[in-house]
Amino acid sequence: MRERVLEAALRLGYRQKFIGNSPVASGLTTVGVLTKRRKSDQLISNPFYSYVMDGIERECQRNNINLMYANVEVDERNRTLSWPAMLLNELVDGVIVVGAFLEEAIADISRRTGKNIVLVDAYTSDDTMFDTVVLDNFGGAVKAVTHLLENGHQHIGLIGSNPNSYPSVLERRMGYFAALAQYGIQQTYTEDGMLERPDAFEATIRLLRRFPQITAIFACNDETAFGVMNAARSLGYRVPDDISIIGFDDIDLAQEVMPSLTTIHVDKVLMGTMALRMLRDRVNDEQKAAIKTVITTQLIIRESVRPIEDSHPPR
C-alpha cells in the first residue's frame, strides 16, 4: 500500500517532505511567486522584475524547491480583481510577493492564504508584519546626482517621479533633493511624470523648454532615461555633449544604447535570491521578528555623462 501511495503521489507531482539532515529539511518544498498585472499588461511588464524572478528560480533549483508563478489582476487603482487558485493550494508552503501592491491587497493575501509571506520591493506601513527585501533607493539616487555634481553640473533635472509616486520612487526623488542640498544647491528642476518611456519623453520636452539651462538629468529608472534621451535628441541636444543623462536599475539595454547609459546598478537577481532564503528561514521559525534586507547599489560609469568643463570630449 505504501508503494502504491508513493507511486500515485509521484505521478501527480507530489514530493516527499524529508526531515532530519536532508536537503529540504527546512520544510519549504513549494513556493508561490505573485506579481500584479493589469488587463493590458504582459506577464511581467517591468524588466526589473524579470531579474528578481530569475534569482528566485535559481535559488529554488539549488535547493530542490518547486516553484509556482501566478498573477494577481488589479484595476487602475491597484485594487485586486481576481485571485489565482495557487493561493489556496495546500502544496504551497509560502508566498513571495513581487512588486507594487497596495497594503490592503498584501493583507488580503495573508488572510486568504494563512501562509508565510516575503515581500520584494513592496511596502507596508508596519515593518513588523512581513519579511521584506528592498533597495537602498535613497542612497542610490544620492550616488547618481553626486556623480553629476562631481562632474561640474549644477543645473540638474529630475524626470520619472511625482509627489504621489510609489515609495521606492519617492525615495529616489528625495535622494535627488538631498544630494543637491549637500552641495548647497537650492535650484531644482523637476517635471512630474510616470516611470514610462513615452511619459518621460513628454515630460523632458516640457522641462527643457522651461529650463534650457539644464545640463544634466537624473532619470528615476533606465526606461525613463531612454525616453529622456529621445526627447533631448528631438530638441537638438547631443548626448552627452550638450546634456548628460544618468539612469537607475542597470537593465541590459543600458549598455546597448548609444551612448551607453551611466546608471545605478541594482543586484536584482540577489533580491530574488534573498527573498527565497528569507522565506525558507521564516518557514523554519515563524515566531521570529520580521526582517528587512536592504540591497545596496553601485554606480556604473559609461558614456552618457561628461564633465561640464569639456565641450567636446573624445569618444
Q: What is the 3-state secondary structure (H, E, C) of the chain?
A: CHHHHHHHHHHCCCCCCCCCCCCCCCCCCEEEEEEEECCCCCCCCCHHHHHHHHHHHHHHHHCCCEEEEEEEEECCCCCEEECCHHHHCCCCCEEEEECCCCHHHHHHHHHHHCCEEEEECCCCCCCCCCEEEEECHHHHHHHHHHHHHHCCCCCEEEECCCCCCCHHHHHHHHHHHHHHHHCCCCCCEEECCCCCHHHHHHHHHHHHHHCCCCCEEEECCHHHHHHHHHHHHHCCCCCCCCCEEECCECCHHHHCCCCCCEEEEECHHHHHHHHHHHHHHHHHCCCCCCCEEEECEEEECCCCCCCCCCCCCCC
Domain-embedded: residue 61: yes
Give the per-residue pLDDT at 19. 38
Give the per-residue pLDDT at 128. 74
Domain-embedded: residue 302: no
Domain check: are 281 and 164 in the same one?
no
Domain-terminating residue out of 222, 250, 265: 265
Domain-embedded: residue 304: no
The residues facing 294 across adjacent strands are 134
- If one counts the domains in the chain, the total is 2
Residue 295 amino acid letter: I
β-pairing verdict for 297-300 and 263-266: antiparallel
Domain check: are 156 and 228 in the same one?
yes
Q: Structural domain of residue 203, as residue ranges? A: 137-265
In a 13 Å sphere around the CA of 204, the CA atoms on its Cβ side amount to: 33
Domain check: are 74 and 174 in the same one?
no
Residue pLDDT tens, the chain, 315 long: 877 777 776 666 555 554 334 444 457 889 999 887 665 555 445 678 888 999 999 999 999 999 998 887 766 555 567 777 777 667 788 899 888 666 677 777 777 677 889 999 887 777 778 899 999 999 999 999 999 999 999 999 999 999 988 889 999 999 999 999 999 999 999 999 988 899 999 999 999 999 999 999 999 999 999 999 999 999 999 999 999 999 999 999 999 999 999 999 999 999 999 999 999 999 888 888 999 999 999 999 999 999 987 544 332
Domain-embedded: residue 244: yes
Domain check: are 80 and 25 in the same one?
yes
Domain check: are 111 and 23 in the same one?
yes
Domain check: are 164 and 91 in the same one?
no
Is residue 269 within 8 A of residue 203, CB to CB? The reply is: no
How many CB atoms lie under 10 A from the CB of residue 158?
25
Domain-embedded: residue 312: no
Backbone angles phi, psi at 194, to 5 degrees: -105, 170
Give the per-residue pLDDT at 314. 30
CA 9/CA 209 separation, integer angstroms: 66
Domain check: are 36 and 119 in the same one?
yes
CA 59/CA 300 separation, integer angstroms: 26
- Tell which residue, 202, 207, 212, 175, has the closest CA to residue 190: 207
Domain-embedded: residue 110: yes
pTM of the model: 0.83
Domain check: are 177 and 194 in the same one?
yes
What CATH number has the domain bearing residue 39? 3.40.50.2300
Domain check: are 144 and 91 in the same one?
no
Give the per-residue pLDDT at 47. 73
Is residue 95 within 8 A of residue 31, CB to CB? The reply is: yes
Is residue 217 within 8 A of residue 243, CB to CB? The reply is: yes
Domain check: are 230 and 82 in the same one?
no
Domain check: are 282 and 260 in the same one?
no
Give the per-residue pLDDT at 13. 56
Domain check: are 121 and 28 in the same one?
yes
- Tell which residue, 270, 248, 253, has the closest CA to residue 54: 270
Domain-embedded: residue 305: no
Residue 262 to residues 68, 107, 134, 238, 275, Cα–Cα distance (Å) = 35, 38, 22, 15, 28
How many CB atoms lie under 10 A from the CB of residue 164?
8
Give the per-residue pLDDT at 122. 82
Give the per-residue pLDDT at 255. 95
Domain-embedded: residue 4: no
